[in-house]
Each structure stands twice: as structure tokens, then as C-alpha cells.
Structure 1
Amino acid sequence: MLMLGLHYRWESLGVVLLHVALVAVGVAGLGIAGLGIDFLRSAVDPSSPPPRWPLGIAPPADWPPWRVVILIAIGVVALALLNAGLRYAAAVSSAHFSQRVLVRLRSDVYDKLQRLSFRFFDASESSSLINRAAGDVQAVRTFVDGVLVRVLIVGLTLLIYLIYMLRVHVLLTLACLAASPLLWIGSVWFSRVVQPAYRQAAELVDRAISTLVENVQGAHVVKGFSREPEEIAKFQIANDRIRRQRESIFWQVSVFQPIMGGLTQVNMLVLIGYGGYLVIQGQIPLGAGMFVMANLLHEFANQVGNITNIANTIQTSLIGAQRVFEVIDTPEEITSPENAVALPRAKGELRFENVAFGYVMDRPVLEDVSFVIQPGECIGIAGETGSGKSTLLALISRFYDPTHGAIYLDGHKLTQLDLGDLRRNIGIVFQESFLFSNTVAANIAFGHPDATPSQIEQAARLAAAEPFICELPDQYDTLIGEHGSNLSGGQRQRLAIARAWLLDPPILVLDDATAAVDPETEHEIQQAVDSARERRTTILVSNRVSTLRRADRILVLQRGRIVESGSHDELMRTRGYYHRLAELQFGDLLESSAQ
């Protein structure tokens, strides 16, 4: 966070200088007002000490009192106007500075999230990441603006006050500020005491947001099972926990602040007693001395109150900052190597050599997987749920790196290739096709934003998506709802195929793209896939024999190992897992054909 403050050092310096100028003008205004009091006292009672004019510059002796009073009044008004101008400039510069910090930090978090591996997202709740990029980023901005800059302002403000007070009377100043060390010690102690409470509050907010996000995303499930009352009660419990935690913090702050305020009043008692004695003895002036010091002690107390608030802000912002920088400082697990091999257009040969992988170190998902896919070949991958099919695809795109063995593309280890080049050579259609809240055209062109309308339409035709797109209200300019909620599952899948095809990738990967669609839609998607797989390496993950039989070769995974390999006809003759799968789906037809 200190580095973030240093990055904007000139902006922060400008904010500090404006606030210091504001304080200096305020003190000068008090000094002139005090001078006016001393002059009026002298004019009414000639036996009282004459005013001490600043820098020894006094008005001509032959001026009548009313002229001097007008001159002092003009000075007070001029300084008041200057004070107002500086206050406006300080407010604007502070707002500009804090917003620049906020935008920069939010961009840094978003940028880092784009570069972190799937393993990081597997271990993190989406609601927590959203809260860190939104609420916790505000806390870091508060630290830079409300702590680092504010500490400088408060410190320089107290220094200006101290210099003026010491000029009035050294011993009186030291006596009035005798209780100040207790205020500093108390602030540091309180800051450490409340830190655990602020951390717990942040964690409770994360849980509440997680509950909210789950219920928004799973609204159809909640309503389908008529669980609204229970979910409302669950969220209310989370809300009440936050309220009780906040009330606990508020109670601690409410006890601490009056104690600090009471200590500051000791300073005023000393001023009235000792300062009053010095005024009577004629050692300090009533206006420029006693009056100004009373005001400065009041401001001094306010600044000490600011220190208390800063101590409170430190804990709020430090907890948020820790959570934000946990993201920013997370090592990037999947990156391009130095001197990476460029691969503008791959041929499409993939080779797995003794590949093993596990999301948890002692629980392998893939073990000793070896096979080769020739350029232009279509490979089907089948297997039970949890056998490692989707994991194998994730390794091809380097969403993860193998824990053992290596994967090669056109003879190059994937870890030697530029990551961007690798992924641009692979078009992926996930099992759950995620669509963005944008137009149909923008979703198809997501991976190729410079695509022309004709290219987008061509991709939609090849993906068999054009017929339903033409029936939409604004066709390609139709806005898609969140996650494509206003489209059917088959329509979303066809848009995803068009999105992958538009890249014209040499490798096409489809992860169970027909798992959740009806037979008619499945047939349309299969036709789209047949069009898209021409002249490219294609990998089909599915447990539908109607999809797998179109492949040149089929691999069967079982408990992370390849247990069968061959064409549809070859695997049907081996009577293994693939044959059983076909029997389950086409049992009657198989019996009829056998007879």
C-alpha cells in the first residue's frame, strides 16, 4: 500500500500542501482576530498592554481606532475568502486523488484475476472475490487517502499549531499538551484491540454475499422447492451476525472516543488556569495569546480525535487491504516462459506422455495417460463421471499443468509455448456454455472482436445457429440476458460452437456439448460439429454413442487411466465399457441387428 501511495506521490503531495495551506490560513485568521481583540482592549483601557503587531508592522500612530478596526476586519474577510477557496481546492483535489487510486487498484485486481490459474478460482468463492474487488478495494483507497495522506495532514497541522503556541509561551504550551502522550498511546492500543473484530466483520460480510449470490443464481431451484421462507431466514441470520459484530465494534469505539475526549479537556483546564494567570500578569496577550490558544487547543483536540478515527480507519482498511493484496500478490501459476516458442498456426498434433494430474496432491485424477492425436484426426473421449475427461481437456489448454509427464503440441511442450498463442490455436465449447450480457454478434465474436459481420454470420450458419438468430427481435443485434437466460440450452450451445468456429482454430475441443439437449437439438449440434471439424483436429468428450461414433478413434477413461482405445466398430467388438454404454442407449436396436 505504501508503494501505491508513492505511485501517486505528486497528487498526494498536492493534497497535503493544499490542506497545510488551509490550516496556515486558518491560524492566520485566528491570529488577526486575536489581534483585533487586543487592539480593542487597548483602545478601551489604555492601561492594558498594547497589541503585538505581526513582524513589528503596526499602523501609523495617528490613525483613529475605527480605521485600524476596519483594516483588521478587511484582513479577517480576505483570509476567510482565501480559506473558502483553499477548502474548495482541497476537497476537489482529495476527491480526484482518491478516485484515481480507487480506479487504479480496482483495475489491478481485475487484471490479476484475469491472469490467475483455474486452481486459484477452484479454491476461492466467487462472492468473496467480488467483495474484494468492490468493497475491500474501497478500504484500500481509504487507507491511502484516509490514513497515509491524512496522517501527513494531521502531523503538519499539529506542527503549525505547535509552532504558533510555542511562540506565545513555551511553558504554557508544554503544560497544555502534557496529556497528549496518553492520547497517542491510547490510540495505538485501541487500534490493536479492535483489529480481530474488523477481520471477523469482513468474513461475515463475505458469507452474507455468498448466500445472496447463491440465491440469485439458484432462484429457480429455491422457488421450485418452495424454500423461500427458509432462505429468507438463512440470509436474516447472516445479516444479524453482521449487525451484532458491527454493534460490538461501535460499542468499543463509543467507549474509547469519550475517554480520549475527556483527556483533551484537561488541556483546556490547564489553559484557563495557567493561561489566565499569565494574561493577568501581562506575560501573554488576551487575544493573540489566550483567545488563539483556546481555539488552537480546540482544533488540537479535533486533530487528536482525527487520530482516533485514523486508528479506527487503519483497522478497517488493513483488513480490506490484506484481502485485496492476497489476490494481487498471489503467484501466477500458469504463465508464458521466457523466450517462449511462438506458434501462430499449429498443425494440430497432440501427444500425451505419461501424464498424471490431481487437484489435490495425494488424490490423482489422471494417471499415466499416453496417446497421440494426428493433425486433422477426430478423437472421442468417453468414461464414467469423475474419470478425468474434462480434466484432460483442461490440461490441453493449460488451465492446469500436469503434476507428472508432459503434453506436446506439434513437438513442443505446452510449457514452452506462448500461452496466448496456445489458447488462440484451440477453440473450446464447454459443457455449460457461458454467454455474456451482450448482443448475439458480440458473443459470437468474443474471441475475435475484429470479425466482420459477414464472418460472424458465416460462423453462425456453420454452427446451425442462423435460423433461430433470424427469428430473434433484432437478430444479431439482439441483447442476450445474463448467462443467455433468454435462450434455450441448444441455442446457447450453437452460439458457443459459432464462437469457437469463428477463431478458425486448428484444434477444436467440445466438452459434452450435447449433454443437456433434446435429440433434435443434438442432431443439429452434431451437424454443426461435423461442419466445424473439417480440416482440423477435433476432440469430442461425450457419453452419447451417437456423438462418439462419428470420431475416428475413441478413448475410454476409467479412474484416470485409458482402458480402451479404438474405432466405434473395434470397441463394440471388445465388449468393454463402450459396448455396455451402447447397450444402455441402444439395447433393443443392438439386439435386433444381432438377430
Structure 2
Amino acid sequence: MLPPKLANAFRNMISPETRDTVGRLFLTDGRRHWKGYAISFVFMGIMAATTSGLAYLMGDVINRIFVEQSSSAIWILSAAVLALSITKGFAAYGQAVALARVGNRIVADNQKRVLDRLFAQDVAYFSGSHTAEIMLRFNTGAQAARNVLNLIITSLGRDLLSVIGLTAVMIIQDPFMACIGLVVMPIAVGGVRALIRKVQKIFSREFHAAIKIMTESIEAFQGIRTIKSFTMEDDQRAKIYERIDRMEKASNRMMRAQSQSGPLMEALGGVAIGLVVMYAGWGVLHGGRTPGEFFSVITALLLSYEPAKRLARLNIDLTTHLLGARMLFEILDRPAVEADAPGTPDLVVESGKIEFDDVFFGYRENEPVLRGLSFVAEAGQTTALVGPSGGGKSTVMNLLERFYEIKSGTIAIDGQKINQVTRKSLRRSIGFVSQDVFLFSGSIRENIAAGRPSASEEEIVAAARAAHAHDFIMGFENGYDSFVGEHGAQLSGGQRQRIAIARAFLKDAPILLLDEATAALDSESEAEVQKALHELQRNRTTLVIAHRLQTVINADRICVVEKGRVVESGRHDELVAKRGRYFTLHQLQFAGQQERLSA
């Protein structure tokens, strides 16, 4: 039982936010892994007991061997010291392994929980958060949960039990000398209180500085072609250097604040040891005390110094990990935006008819992108969306896959409102090929198989042949096992595009979305892929975004989208005959092509 003043001091040191975070960690991860922590705690108790036993034996060693000069005591006490030391060594190994196993399991569990929660967020969350911040939360948060629990368990099991055991030895040997030594703890606890808030503020700034460094570094590495093309190296270097310098200064301030408890503990420890030496030396020389009692108390005091110092600065050490734990909880507490309500039916695609009816949507408040957009994409036909950039064409595809939710209106497939069916069934029914192809940093085979992971080797090759990708794939040394690099950096734009088309072939979905799917191809490759796409579009409902009108001349229906509305629709020849907005766009492109040809 701690003295009231000391207990109050500890309570005042711990903020309500810290208590809530630590309490939640113990109620979640701590409770799930209590058996592992209990085993580790037992080993720590053995370590504390053997440490106390060694300090106590020091009195007998001095008195029996050096004062009484007993030969038999040499063997007995040496054996006892050896047994205690071996036991302590095995206990230290046991607690380290047990604690590491539990800690590693906590990190793995939390990373899985965070990953699940992140996958349950919508695209808007990722659009509004930088990858660096998400990754820092993913890794640092999971690690912090383990570090907080391990630090507290270690402090209670190893340090606190050691201090209690060694204090008991001092009290048994000489209560007054024990009181002199124990005077260090309350003063030390009070001395570090002022440092905690300072450390919290500094660490918060340091954390945000680390996010800035990671953010700007990732962007610089990913945009290295742009940086080199515009000779931006010096500007980027200067900007990141400035962030690094700020981080260095914050880290130095952090280290100074954390280290301020050291001189206090050193000074107080020296005072305590000096007082014990004075009192014990006088007692041995003039008060009839035995040298063994003196050495036993000194040994216990010296052995308790390090664990007492760690206990005194526990809250400071916790501060650097608690922020990470709170970051973890911020992710885990986010509502699962894409979680379907229980009992939500799956989408059943029979023909694939798509209907947009008076749809309003904006990515930001008071900035509408779609303003009452309506159109129908008939089943089994190709519907093209054309028009100037910024009109809302790509937004139509984002909404069809429910990457975002509409503000009002309805979107339906075969009469089923897509916001009333499960997202997985909706997205399983849609194949998508974009002009901005994303490839995973694996092999070509793995990237094609992403369309249907259960596909056989023959099906993967057939999809690649259909996308006119097989020949260039086999031209690589490792064929389908060739690695594509980060974001497919080791492939040309046309090669990446054809792998994406092969992926769509393999998925074999009844609805197909093409967003400038041939934009990155040369004329010869485009002609081949257009043939493949024509086969892919057969008997499927296809929605095409096109800026080059020549690629959609044969579409069953063309919708001109401007300012969030469909302003014209019909077949190519019908729209040209109307001499409306489509005719104007067509004439502009045709005139531009004629000028390029004549040049």
C-alpha cells in the first residue's frame, strides 16, 4: 500500500486521457492475452525473488565467511548464490520469451484489425488521407499497443516487485537504513511530474513532423520522373531538408526533456547511498552492528536503484507510446462505412440494364458535380459518355461501383437500386479498365489473376491472348513470372494497359466499364485491343468514357455529359444530324485531326 501522498502524486501524474487509453488496452488486448502476461508475470516474480535473495545472502557472505571465517559456509553460500543466479537467468529468459510472444501476437492482431477497418472505409476516406499517415497509423499504432502493455507489465512485474523485495531485505536487515533509502522514491516521483506535459507536447509535434517527412519523401520518390523532368531536385531537397532539420530539433528537445529525470535520480541516489554509508559505518564501528547487515542493505539499495529509476520515469516513457495507441483507437473507432446491413440482398444481374435517374452528387459540400443526371444504358449494349473534362463522366463510374454515395436520385441495375444490395455482389458484377492502370508489385501472372484469383493457368493465358498481351509477355525472360515493379514501372504504358484488359477478360463480369481504356496505346496496338474489347463487350452492358470520339462512333448510344447533366443522347449519325453539342465536339476533333495530318 502506497502512502497517501505518494498515491496522490501518482494519480496526479496520470491524466484522464492516459488512464482511459491504458484502461482500454488492458480491457482489450490485455484481457485477450492475460494467460501469456500471467506467465510472464510469474517469471518476473521469480526474478525479483532471486534478486532479493542475492541481496539478503550478501549479509551472510560477509558475516559467515569474512567475519566468522567459516570454511563450510564458503561452499554452502557459494552454492546458494549459484542456484539463485541460475534460477534468475532461466526466469529472465522465460519472461522475455513469454512477453515477446504476447507482444508479437498483439501487433499481428491489431494490424489485422486496422486492415479490416481500413478496408471497410470508402474511397472518400483514402482520398482525404495521405498514404504516409495511413501507413504510420497502421504500423505505429499496432506497435504502440504492445509497447504500452509491455512497459506497464514489465514495470509492475520486474521493477515494482524487485523494489518491494529489495525493500523487504533492507527492512529486515535495518529498518532505519531502509527508510533512508526509500526517501528517494517520493522525491523522484514529484520531480518528474513537471516533465510529463512537456514531453507530451514535444512528442506530438515530433510525430506530425515525421508524417510530413514521410509524406513529402513518398511523393518525391513516386514523382521522380516529374521532378527530374522539371529539374526540381534542388527545391525538393531543400523542402525535405527543412522538415528533417525541424525533426532533428524536436528530437533533441524530446531527448533533453526525457533525460532531465536522470540527473535528479542520480543525485538523490547518491544522497541516499551516502546517508546509508554514514549511518551503517557509524553503527558498525561504534554501535555493535555487523558488517553483513551493512553490506546487505547497501547491495539491496544498489540493486533497487535501476528499477526505482525506471518506475519514477514510467509515465514519461509511456507518453511516447500512448499517442500511437490513441492513433490505433482512432482507426478502430471509425464506423465501417462500407459495412452492409444484415440481411442486405445480393445483386442479381439478369440482363444488365443500368439506369441513372435524377442523380445529384458532389465530392465536397456546395460544389455539385452531377446536377440531376439521367440516362439509361440498355442491357447488352454499349453506351458512351462523351463531353468536356470536368463534366462528371468519371464520377458516373465511381457512383456505379459505389465508391461514393449519391446525394439524391437513384441508380439501378435491372430495376434493383444499387444502394439496397451488397457492395461485394455489385462490384463482382462489374469489370473495370481505366486509363490510370494500377498494377500490384508482383508478377504479371498475379496481376492478371487479380481478376479471378481461382483462375487456372490456361484461363490466365487465354485472357492474356484475348487482350493481345501474350506475345509481349512471352518476350520477357521469365514470361508470366516476370515482375512488373512498383505500380508496373518496369512495363510500358501500353503493356500495363493490356494487362489490365486481360484482368477484365478474366473477371468475365456482365457489366463492363471502360474509362479511356486504349488511351495509352499506339495506333497498331490500339487497333488490336479494340478488336479484343469488341469481343469483350459482346453480350455485355458496356459503359465507355471517351474523349476521342472516333473510338465510340459505333456505340449503340452516345450521351453528351456537360456540367453534370446529359444534354444530348443518341447514335453517332443521329447526333451529327442534329448539329447540336455533339456535332460541335466532333467538328472540333475532326478539324484538329485534319490539321495534324496536313502538318
Which TM-score applies when normalising by structure 2?
0.89
Q: Name the residue aligned to 1:209.
A: 214
Q: 1:581 to 1:243 in 2, by over 3 A?
A: same
Give the 3 Å change call, closer, same or farther, for CA 281–564 of structure 1 in structure 2. Answer: farther
Q: Is the 8 A contact 1:337 1:415 kept in 2?
A: no
Deviation at 1:563, TM superposition (A): 1.6
In structure 2, relative to structure 1, the CA distance for the partners of 1:129 and 1:589 (3 Å cut) is closer
Q: Are 1:87 and 2:100 matched, yes or no?
A: no
Residue 347 (1) aligns with residue 351 (2): yes
Paired-residue identity, %: 31
Specify the alignment match of 1:50 in structure 2.
Answer: none
Q: What residue number does 1:31 align with?
A: 56
- The one of 190, 194, 215 equivalent to 2:195 is 190
Once residues 350 and 165 of structure 1 are traced to their aligned partners in structure 2, the CA distance between those partners, rounded to angstroms, is 83
Which residue matches 1:60?
Answer: none
Deviation track 1:325-357 (CA, whole Å, cap 9, x = no partner) reads 322322222221210102365531222232211
Q: 2:398 aligns with which of 388, 394, 398?
A: 394
The C-alpha deviation readout for 1:265-294, integer Å capped at 9, x for no partner, is 33323423444455567686542x332222
Letter in 2 for 1:553: R
Alignment match, 1:15: 40
Aligned residue identity for 2:373: V
Query: Match of 2:306, SS?
Result: helix
CA contact (8 A) 2:50 2:84 kept: yes
Contact 2:273 2:301 in 1 (8 A): yes
- Which of these residues, 577, 589, 594, is aligned with residue 585 of structure 1? 589
Unaligned stretches of 5+ in structure 2?
Answer: 1-24
SS at 1:341 equivalent = coil
CA contact (8 A) 1:337 1:417 kept: no
Name the stretch that deviates more: 214-223 or 1-10: 1-10
More divergent stretch after superposition (232-241 vs 322-331) = 322-331
Distance 1:415 1:385, change over 3 A: same
Residue in 1 that maps onto 2:381: 377
Query: After superposition, what is the alpha-carbon deviation per residue over 1:5-34, rounded to whole angstroms, capped at 9, x for unaligned?
Result: 322221122222212211211111222232
SS at match of 1:359: coil
CA contact (8 A) 2:410 2:417 kept: yes
Deviations 1:419-438 (A, max 9, x none): 21111111111221111122
SS where residue 411 of structure 2 aligns?
Answer: strand
Structure 1 letter corresponding to 2:96: A
Question: Using the alignment, how far apart are the partners of 1:405 and 1:275 within structure 2?
Answer: 88
Alpha-carbon distance change, 589 to 434 in structure 1, aligned in 2, over 3 angstroms: closer
Q: Distance in 2 between matches of 1:566 and 1:209?
A: 50
Counterpart in 1 of 2:554?
Answer: 550
Instruction: Kindly state the Cα deviation for residue 515 of structure 1 after the two structures are TM-superposed.
Output: 2.9
Counterpart position of 1:321:
325
| Superimposed CA distance per residue, residues 455-506 of structure 1 (whole angstroms, 9 cap, x where no aligned partner) | 1122112222223223222322222222111222122111111111211101
Give the structure-1-normalised TM-score: 0.90
In structure 2, how many angstroms separate the alpha carbons of the residues matched to 1:136 and 1:432?
32
Q: How many residues align?
A: 570
- 1:410 corresponds to 2:414: yes
Matches within 5 A, 1:110-509: 110-276=115-281, 279=284, 285-287=290-292, 289-343=293-347, 345-509=349-513
Instruction: Write the distance in 1 (CA, Å) between the matches of 2:107 and 2:41.
Output: 18
Offset at 1:388? Answer: 1.5
Q: Which amino acid aligns with 1:27?
A: S
* Amino acid of the structure 2 residue aligned with 1:533: Q
* Distance of 1:354 and 1:205 partners within structure 2: 46
Displacement of 1:557: 1.7
**How far apart are residue 309 of structure 1 and its match?**
4.6
| CA deviation map 1:358-413 (0-9, x unaligned) | 11122111121222323212111122222221111111111111122232222222
Q: Does the Cα contact within 8 Å between 1:168 and 1:284 map onto a contact in 2?
A: no
CA distance in 2, matches of 1:122, 1:338: 27
* Equivalent AA in structure 2 for residue 6 of structure 1: R
Q: How many Å separate the matches in 2 of 1:585 and 1:434?
A: 29
| Partner SS for 1:385 | coil
Tell me the SS of whatever aligns to 2:260: helix
> Are the aligned partners of 1:583 and 1:590 in contact in 2 as well (CA < 8 Å)?
no
Structure 2 CA distance, aligned partners of 1:268 and 1:550?
94
Q: CA deviation at 1:149?
A: 4.1
Distance change >3 Å, CA 67–CA 106, structure 1 → 2: same
Contact 2:117/2:332 (<8 A) preserved = yes
CA RMSD of aligned residues (A): 2.4
Deviation larger for 373-382 or 85-94: 85-94
SS at match of 1:356: strand
Match of 2:30 in 1: 5
Instruction: Report the CA distance shift for 1:439/1:264 in structure 2 as closer, same or farther (over 3 A).
Output: same
Letter paired with 2:240:
F
Give the 3-state SS of the residue equivalent to 1:336 in structure 2: coil
After the TM superposition, which of the residue ranges 155-164 and 236-245 deviates more from structure 2?
155-164
Q: Could you say which residue in structure 2 is the equivalent of 1:96?
A: 101
Matched with 2:11 is: none
For 1:451, the aligned partner's letter is A
Structure 1 residue 114, shift from structure 2 partner: 2.2
Using a 3 Å threshold, how does the CA distance of structure 1 residues 589 and 383 change in structure 2: closer, same or farther?
A: closer
Structure 1 stretches lacking a partner, 5+ long:
45-64
The secondary structure found in structure 2 opposite 1:486 is: coil
Partner of 2:4: none
Match of 2:534 in 1: 530
- Give the aligned residue type for 2:64: F
Q: In the TM superposition, what whole-angstrom CA distance separates every residue of 1:91-142 from its partner, at most 9, and x where no partner exists?
A: 2223323222222222322332222211111110112222222345333332
Residues 511 and 303 (structure 1), Cα distance of their counterparts in 2 relative to 1, 3 Å cut:
same
Name which of structure 1's ranges 361-370 and 204-213 shifts more when overlaid on structure 2: 361-370
Separation of aligned partners in 1, 2:290 and 2:392? 87
CA contact (8 A) 1:509 1:538 kept: yes
- Inter-partner Cα distance in structure 1 for 2:352 and 2:276: 86
Report the secondary structure of 1:331's partner residue. coil
How much does 1:581 deviate? 1.9
- The whole-number CA distance in structure 2 between the counterparts of 1:566 and 1:283 is 113
CA distance in 2, matches of 1:347, 1:185: 75
Residue aligning to 1:43: 68
Once the two structures are superposed, residues 195-223 of structure 1 have per-residue CA deviations (whole angstroms, 9 ceiling, x without a partner) of 01101111111111112111211111122
Counterpart-to-counterpart distance in 2, 1:216 and 1:300 = 50
* 2:572 alignment partner in structure 1: 568
Closer, same or farther in 2 for the Cα pair 1:220/1:566, shift >3 Å?
same
Bigger CA drift: 522-531 or 191-200?
Answer: 522-531
* Mapped contact 2:400–2:411 kept (Cα < 8 A): yes
Q: Compute the displacement of 1:171 (Å).
A: 4.4
Residue type at the aligned position of 2:29 = L
Distance 1:163 1:178 in 2: 15
| Cα distance in 2 between the residues matched to 1:205 and 1:15 | 34
Between stretches 394-403 and 510-519, larger displacement belongs to 510-519
Deviation at 1:246, TM superposition (A): 0.5
State whether residues 190 and 311 of structure 1, in contact with CA within 8 Å, keep that contact through their aligned partners in structure 2.
Answer: no
Amino acid at match of 2:245: D
Q: Distance in 2 between matches of 1:353 and 1:491?
A: 37
Q: Distance in 2 between matches of 1:589 and 1:154?
A: 80
The letter for the 2-side match of 1:337 is: A
